[in-house]
């Protein structure tokens, strides 16, 4: 049971470098999300995709872009990394509408350090 898979699990970048965090889910969920987790801040929503072909900004979208490649995959891109983007990033997915239970399924996280 893979569930939600994120890659890479760890990454160190220098300021100004770019990278993409990959996320894939095998539960046929419509909605996918990217959160970041910082000490004392809890989880904050960066971007979400309510369904294939749509993406929208969350609470903290600045400095990030996303792509919903297909129903399974939702990537997060940092075009020019900054030290403030040092964080643990979580991808999540959920079902919507008639089958909505409110439960989000999370990946194991990607720890990113920007020097």
Partner 1 sequence: GNSVTQMEGPVTLSEEAFLTINCTYTATGYPSLFWYVQYPGEGLQLLLKATKADDKGSNKGFEATYRKETTSFHLEKGSVQVSDSAVYFCALSDQNSNSGYALNFGKGTSLLVTP
Q: Which residues bind partner 1 (CB under 8 A)?
A: 4, 31, 33, 35, 40-45, 48-51, 56, 58, 90, 92, 94, 96, 100-104, 106-109
Nearer to partner 1 among residue 4 and residue 78 (C-beta): 4
Compute the least distance from the CB of residue 17 to partner 1, in Å.
25
Nearer to partner 1 among residue 85 and residue 93 (C-beta): 93
Which residues of 26-104 form beta strands (DSSP E)?
31-38, 42-49, 56-57, 64-68, 74-78, 87-94
Compute the least distance from the CB of residue 57 to partner 1, in Å.
10
Nearer to partner 1 among residue 14 and residue 102 (C-beta): 102
Nearest residue to 64 (alpha-carbon basis) of 41, 87, 42, 94: 87
Instruction: Tell me the C-alpha distance between 85 and 110, whole Å.
Output: 12
Compute the least distance from the CB of residue 22 to partner 1, in Å.
15
Instruction: Tell me the C-alpha distance between 17 and 65, whole Å.
Output: 14
Compute the least distance from the CB of residue 16 to partner 1, in Å.
29
Strand pairing of 64-68 and 74-78? antiparallel
């Amino acid at each position: 049971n893979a569930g939600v898979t994120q890659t890479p699990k760890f990454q160190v970048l220098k300021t100004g470098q770019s990278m993409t965090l990959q996320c894939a889910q095998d539960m046929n969920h419509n909605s996918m999300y990217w959160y970041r987790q910082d000490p004392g801040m809890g989880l904050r929503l960066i971007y979400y995709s309510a369904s294939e072909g749509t993406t929208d900004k969350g609470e903290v979208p600045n400095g990030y872009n996303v792509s919903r490649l297909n129903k399974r995959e939702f990537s997060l891109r940092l075009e020019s990394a900054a030290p403030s983007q040092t964080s643990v990033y979580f991808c999540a997915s959920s079902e919507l509408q008639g089958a909505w239970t409110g439960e989000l399924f999370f990946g194991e996280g990607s720890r990113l350090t920007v020097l």
